[in-house]
Amino acid sequence: TLLPDASGSIIAGIVITHWDQGILVIDSTGCKIYDNIMSLMNYNGITLEGNNAANNLIYSNIFQENTVAVNLTSSSTSNTIYKNIITSNNIGLSLESSGHAIYANTISENQVGIDISNTNGNIIYHNNFINNKENAKSAQYSNAWDNGYPSGGNYWSDYKGLDEKSGANQDMLGSDSIGDTQYTIAVNNIDRYPLLQ
């Protein structure tokens, strides 16, 4: 557990398994959590909680068979989650707050890959959503699911579109490894540039 006076802490290179929670960050800022393995948690692998639980980096971890891999509660904000392997959890990422950047994660074989509720203003891109029972679940709030063109959005294993065109409007001849049609998660939640592998 990282309390407010633990801001700037580093947690790296440990294995946590068979607990209620793995790492709980309460009102700590600027922490780095990386190269850890969290599995078989009854609740959350990592929880960020409190108005000052901001500007933390969670990267290069493995989350497997937890109830929730990463829980960004309604009071946390502006954290970065990237390059994690998140597999076989009930929920991969639970987002209840704004301002988070979530990119370059592999999110696979979960019941729900990412679950967003009651929040706007997150950016989610360059993730691989692979064979989740439900890749993404979102209420009708406004979040960004791509990084613009030509950077692109996310890879979705259930995307059925073709790649025959290119350009910001996908109306020019020639493929560009981006789907010609958008991927819709919910109202105001659209990946305009779904990636193809």
pTM: 0.96
Instruction: Give the CA distances from residue 91 to residues 36, 72, 153, 174, in Å, rounded to whole numbers and listed in that order.
Output: 18, 12, 21, 37
How many Cα atoms within 13 Å fall on the side-chain side of residue 155?
15
Q: What is the pLDDT of residues 120-172, one digit of tens each?
A: 899 999 999 999 999 999 987 889 999 999 999 999 999 999 999 999 999 99
Sign of CA dihedral 190, 102, 70, 122: negative
3-state secondary structure of 31: coil
Query: What is the per-residue pLDDT for 152?
Result: 97
Closest-CA residue to 67 (of 21, 25, 104, 105): 21
Q: Residue 64 pairs with which residues in a beta bridge?
A: 39, 87
Amino acid identity, position 33 = I
